[in-house]
Amino acid sequence: MGGSGFLGGAVVQVMKEQKKNFALIPSGVRLDDRKTIAEFLDRWKPKYFICAAGTAGRPNIGWCENNKGETIDINVTGQLNVAELCRQRGVHCTLFGTGCLYYYDKDHPKGSGKAYTEEDAPNFTGNFYGRMRIALENLVRQYDNVLSLRIAFPVDSQGHPRSLQSKLCKYPKITSTLTSYTIIDSLFPLIPEMAKKNLTGVYNFTNPGVTTNKYILSMYKKYVNPEHSWIDAEEQVTSVPRAFSELDMTKLLKDFPDIPHVEKAVEASMKKLGEIVKKQKEETA
């Protein structure tokens, strides 16, 4: 469900590449339409259900501040609808959450390697979107059929407008802070296997290690667009912390020990994106 969106589209691509047998709930079906979702589940009788539907606001999470009721309906109530419908039918359910739940503090200083685990209580409550993600996560922990994946600053190799590198390229100035990132090409292929293994609970779903926006743009410049430029702006000190942190990957690495370091994964993705862009230019020349 949600296969027409940014993350859902990436899941669909993985399913096709891995030659999985799958079906898509039509994009017009909303998360609050329990009756229709139930009908599809009863008709198809799947073993696994992946829900990539949700909202991060348009154009950004600031939208959620002014649309709180709709945000709750989509990102909390709607997700629980799916989780419960799947539980009733014995179906494994994968939901997408956020990894932007923490900020560096005295126990987790920046650059120290002391990372936040899935059991650490979130300390970032700086926006309504994040607070609702925390609320959802606390609730889905009660479901024994739900796998909740914490995604942070997703980077892809397809140049999707909602990927992090596409967003960064729009800004003349960027700030850079060491933090965790989700590199879609190296992590999303694991999702079908995680469901097959019947993994449940909350998982940090980022690559091992930390890097910066500057590094990502440097790889974009190297492999995709040598003409791209930006100004490195100093990180502003504010009274409200920002959701930058290192997430502990021990739990995911137990089942998938070969996940590449974030900087290696970023470089591979930007190299692939560069090849795609080059091919597109040749075809239109």
User: Which residue in 212, 251, 236 sits closest to 115, CA to CA?
Assistant: 251
Q: Per-residue pLDDT for 125 more than 60? A: yes
Least confident of 34-43, 56-65, 141-150: 56-65
Q: What is the pLDDT of residue 159?
A: 92
Only one residue has tokens 């999985």, namely: 20
Residue type, 48: Y
For the beta carbon of residue 270, count every other beta carbon within 10 angstroms.
Answer: 24
Mean pLDDT over each residue of the chain, to the nearest integer: 92
Q: Please give the average per-residue pLDDT across 106-122, as a whole number.
A: 94
Whether pTM exceeds 0.75:
yes
Whether residue 9 contacts residue 161, with contact meaning beta carbons closer than 8 Å, is answered with no
pLDDT tens digits along 26-45: 988 988 889 999 999 999 99
Q: What is the pLDDT of residue 240?
A: 55
DSSP 172-222: SEE----B---BHHHHGGGHHHHHHTT--EEEE-S-SS-B-HHHHHHHHHH
